[in-house]
A and B are shown apart, each in its own frame.
Chain A
Amino acid sequence: MHDREPATVGELLGIRPAAVAGICLYDVGSEPAASRPTSRSGLRARRVPRGVLNAFLGDADAGASDADIAQLAGCTVAQVRRARLARGIRRPAGRPSTHSRVTALAIAVFGRPFEPVVTRVKSVVDGRAEPPRYLVRESLDYAAFIRCVGALLDAGFSADHLSRGLGVRKVDIERAEKIARRR
């Protein structure tokens, strides 16, 4: 028995037209169908529709507490925390406050909303840490040092002068002088 050659795109791919009702590019993935709550699934097990928390994560970035966001979004603190960490928003230091609350406070105090300050970010760690910088120095060329010390002493500088000027101990200058004279 031979199968009939699939005539339409839907038959070929095994997709029923009813299954794709209402799909368009821009709402795909924004909100999956809500699952029916079962007896085991209380508030803790309830799934947050994807994208619902996105609207509140700006507040999280601004320093809102998870409890506040959970209350606004109507989900649990753990769900907010998970969404926040998934987007790499760490809990910022300092007193937590929502973006809207800070704006309201700024209008009350200054008469206008605050202006966000954009700082230059040099590091790759969210601007919160900078790579350490090292001063790379070349090692001392002792033969050249001896020649310099000899020449400077010949020119009339005292060992005290050289010690202070070069930042070298006086005994080292004197030792270098001895070696320079021996040559």
Chain B
Amino acid sequence: MTVGALHYATMTNAELVTRGVPAASITSQRERMTGHVRRVQDRFARSVGWWGGVATLVEIAEHVDVDPAAAREYAKFRGLKWRTRRRSYTPAQLAVRALATRGAARDVGPQIGLLPIEVVVYRAAITDVLVQNEIDLATLLAWPVPDLEREWARLDLRVQAPLRESVDLRAPGYLDRVVEEAERRARTEEP
């Protein structure tokens, strides 16, 4: 069974051990794959893709189902930012910022107000854009703004935890099904 980034981000060490991950390598693997040293809380794992200026704090709090004050505390402690009147980004723009800022995900996250795992996923997503168009990042910066958004929409890139409101993340086999589904989709889209 595959143990992917999502497993490392959301599962406890004990759960990873039961899935056959050597206990001594969990923290280093988790940091390498997600940028996090500890796991993300289940509740806030649902906020992946919402930080950095995409949504307001109230929207995030409603999505995560916590008090806005609690969301604010969570964000302030981690250097997360949200959309305000002055600061507003689309996911595509955040992805460009994530890739254009040098450094490890753990360091870059607070600089642009994202969770480290968001930095990892945004970077992977914008790399898709670069690879599909066979360009480098400097060329992408010279693109007109609408082109980037159009390309982002065309490739149907989404940065989100594959979680649904009604699904219990800890239910047995749920994460496995998510990973299998993603792999199946990747296989069918290849040819």
Contacts and interface: CB of A to CB of B under 8 A. Distances in A.
B27 interface: yes
Contacts, number: 92
Interface range for B: 35 or more
Given A6-B145, A8-B142, A88-B27, A32 B22 contact: no
Given A7-B144, A17-B142, A24 B96 contact: no
24 contacts: A7-B145, A8-B142, A8-B143, A9-B93, A9-B140, A9-B141, A9-B145, A12-B93, A13-B93, A16-B141, A20-B137, A20-B141, A21-B138, A24-B136, A24-B137, A25-B99, A25-B127, A28-B104, A28-B123, A29-B103, A29-B104, A29-B108, A124-B13, A126-B23
B86 interface: no
Interface string A117-133: 01001001111000000
Contacts of B17: 121, 124
Contacts of B93: 9, 12-13
B144 to A, nearest CB: 6
A33 B102 CA distance: 10
B124 interface: yes
A24 to B, nearest CB: 7
B100 A23 contact: yes
A50 interface: yes
Interface in A80-125: 87-89, 118, 121, 124-125
Interface of B: 13-14, 17, 22-24, 27-28, 31, 93, 96-97, 99-100, 102-105, 107-108, 123-124, 127, 130, 136-145, 148
A12 B144 CA distance: 10
Given A28-B104, A121-B17, 15 more contacts: A7-B145, A9-B93, A9-B96, A9-B143, A10-B141, A12-B145, A15-B96, A18-B138, A23-B137, A25-B123, A25-B127, A29-B107, A87-B27, A87-B28, A124-B13
A9 B22 CA distance: 43
Nearest to B108: A29
B99 A88 contact: no
B24 A23 contact: no
Contacts of B138: 17-18, 20-21
Contacts of A24: 127, 130, 136-137
B63 to A, nearest CB: 25
A19 interface: yes
A33 B22 CA distance: 33
Closest 7 CB pairs of A and B: A10-B141, A29-B104, A17-B138, A25-B127, A124-B14, A20-B137, A87-B28
A19 B100 contact: yes
Given A87-B27, A87-B28, A15 B141 contact: yes
A104 to B, nearest CB: 23
A73 B98 CA distance: 30
A89 B28 CA distance: 10
B33 to A, nearest CB: 13
A89 B100 contact: no
Given A9-B148, A13-B96, A15-B141, A50 B104 contact: yes
